[in-house]
Amino acid sequence: MKNHTEMLRACILCGGDRHTPVCTSQDYLTGRVFTTVKCGDCGLMFVDPQPDATELQHLYPVRHQQMDPARYEIRDGHRRAKNILRLKRTGTASILDIGCGKGMLLNYLQAAGWKTCGLELSENSAATARRMGVQVYTVSLDKAPLDAAGYDVISLFHVLEHLPDPGRTLELLKPHFKPGGILVIEVPNAGSWHFRLLGPHWFHYDAPRHLYHFTPITLNRLLAAHGYTVVEQRHHDWQYDAFGLLQGGLNLVSGQPNLLNNVLTKETSFKEIARHPYRLLWLLVSLTVLIPGMILLMLLEWLLSPWVDGGTLRYVAKPPGEGQLKTE
Ligand SMILES: [Zn+2]
């Protein structure tokens, strides 16, 4: 019988091949089972074996094909724009948003006077962004006709964990920063107390779409390995952390993976749930119990945030060879 070690890929962070399985999870969309492993040398977690790029295209939910932005996408765009504007307080800055989805972040920044550009592989999402007047290319980073003048900000919001080779992307981005330019990355935190509390029910496993899971240690190491200097790191986000905790809690008690997420993102219609009164009742009872618990835990996370790792990592980094971060 083939043993587990024989089928393992080398760790992208340290080259190690001593991996141990962390979790086996069933994809809530396709029913396929994927294994997440942890590198015994550096602690990076990743799906292994991984689907190839062609397979991955067919493993994304239908919301990526929906034209209208969901309410959470509009809120995310606004929140991210506020964060970017806090970092660069100028009306003339430029941004490249990798995996820009329906372009909500870029739409907000464009309205604030920014020059914007997005990369997005979903044609429908890109079409939605273009309808708002946002420039989006539906090609990979190495083929995109990017602005030769470079960008003040390059952002990857909940994108790095989806990439088959995150280190290669960090390398490809290097020539595209203007002097003083910054990289902004947001990913789920696999070093969080959410992960430790929920184990295999952690909402952000999301295999095979999330190919890698970063902790503060492994994300710092990845950025350093490619010459980036971290200038700011945050370990808490109200919206992502609260929802991840609630959906993870539901996964734990209901045994129906990502049910609430699927209803809110229109992956599953509410009518479909309502056709099964028992499932609906169970969902409502679970939410009634879990929501007060989630609010209490989120307040604790916020109060203890200097010492406790929350559910989301947001990093700001300078590319190699750059001067001081501009905060004009
Ligand atoms: Zn490793």
CA 202 to centroid of ligand 1, rounded, Å: 22
CA-CA distance, 127 to 274, in Å (whole number)?
Answer: 33
Indicate if the pLDDT at residue 265 is higher than 90: no
Q: What does the pLDDT read at residue 42?
A: 95
CA 187 to centroid of ligand 1, rounded, Å: 18
CA 143 to centroid of ligand 1, rounded, Å: 29
Where is pLDDT greater, at 277 or 100? 100
Indicate if the pLDDT at residue 70 is higher than 90: no
For residue 120, count CB atoms less than 10 angstroms from its CB and return exposed for 0-12, middle for 13-18, buried for 19 or more.
buried
Who surrounds ion ligand 1 at CB < 5 A?
Answer: 11, 13-14, 16, 39, 41-42, 44
CA 44 to centroid of ligand 1, rounded, Å: 5
CA 185 to centroid of ligand 1, rounded, Å: 20
CA 225 to centroid of ligand 1, rounded, Å: 12
Give the list of residues 6+ apart from residue 182 with CB closer than 8 angstroms, or none. Answer: 87, 88, 152, 153, 154, 231, 316, 317, 318, 325
Q: What does the pLDDT read at residue 107?
A: 95
CA 15 to centroid of ligand 1, rounded, Å: 6
Percent of the chain past pLDDT 90, that is, above it, reads 48
Return left, alpha or beta for 227; rule: phi > 0 is left, psi -120 to 50 is alpha, else beta.
Answer: left
Q: What does the pLDDT read at residue 249?
A: 84
Give the list of residues 6+ apart from residue 32 with CB closer than 8 angstroms, or none. Answer: 26, 208
Q: Give the relative orientation of helices 71-87 and 104-111 as an angle to the nearest 10 degrees.
A: 50
CA 45 to centroid of ligand 1, rounded, Å: 8
Mean pLDDT over 134-149 rounds to 94
- Extract the tokens encoding 16: 């190690």
Indicate if the pLDDT at residue 1 is higher than 50: no
CB 189 within 8 A of CB 157: no
DSSP string, 287-312: HHHHHHHHHHHHHHHHHTTTTS--SE
CA 99 to centroid of ligand 1, rounded, Å: 26
Where is pLDDT greater, at 70 or 183? 183
- Each residue's pLDDT tens digit, 193-230: 889 888 888 888 888 889 999 999 999 999 999 999 99
Percent of the chain past pLDDT 70, that is, above it, reads 91
How far from 8 is each of 2, 81, 134, 137, 236, CA to CA, in Å? Answer: 11, 39, 41, 34, 33
CA 21 to centroid of ligand 1, rounded, Å: 13
- Each residue's pLDDT tens digit, 236-249: 888 788 888 888 88
Q: Give the relative orientation of helices 71-87 and 238-254 as an angle to the nearest 10 degrees.
A: 140
Indicate if the pLDDT at residue 324 is higher than 50: no
Give the residue among 114, 136, 115 at the shortest CA–CA distance from 124. Answer: 136
Q: Please provide the average confidence, as pLDDT, over all residues in the chain.
A: 85
CA 203 to centroid of ligand 1, rounded, Å: 23
Phi and psi at residue 56, to the nearest 5°: -60, -35
Where is pLDDT greater, at 145 or 1? 145
- Extract the tokens encoding 223: 């950025």
Mean pLDDT over 259-283 rounds to 75
CA 235 to centroid of ligand 1, rounded, Å: 22
Q: What does the pLDDT read at residue 8?
A: 62
Q: Give the relative orientation of helices 238-254 and 277-303 as an angle to the nearest 10 degrees.
A: 140
Indicate if the pLDDT at residue 61 is higher than 60: yes
Q: What does the pLDDT read at residue 134?
A: 95
CA-CA distance, 176 to 235, in Å (whole number)?
Answer: 27
Where is pLDDT greater, at 182 or 252? 182
Mean pLDDT over 312-318 rounds to 95
Return left, alpha or beta for 213; rule: phi > 0 is left, psi -120 to 50 is alpha, else beta.
Answer: beta
Indicate if the pLDDT at residue 129 is higher than 70: yes
Tell me: cis bond preceding 49? Omega within 30 of 0 counts: yes
3-state helix, strand, coil in the chain (%, to 5): 45, 20, 35
CA-CA distance, 7 to 21, in Å (whole number)?
Answer: 12
CA 192 to centroid of ligand 1, rounded, Å: 19
Indicate if the pLDDT at residue 5 is higher than 50: no
Q: What does the pLDDT read at residue 212?
A: 96
How far from 288 is each of 257, 281, 283, 297, 313, CA to CA, in Å? Answer: 18, 11, 9, 15, 28
CA 104 to centroid of ligand 1, rounded, Å: 35
Give the residue among 266, 262, 56, 84 at the shortest CA–CA distance from 165. Answer: 56
Q: What does the pLDDT read at residue 322?
A: 63
CA 115 to centroid of ligand 1, rounded, Å: 38
Q: What does the pLDDT read at residue 2?
A: 38
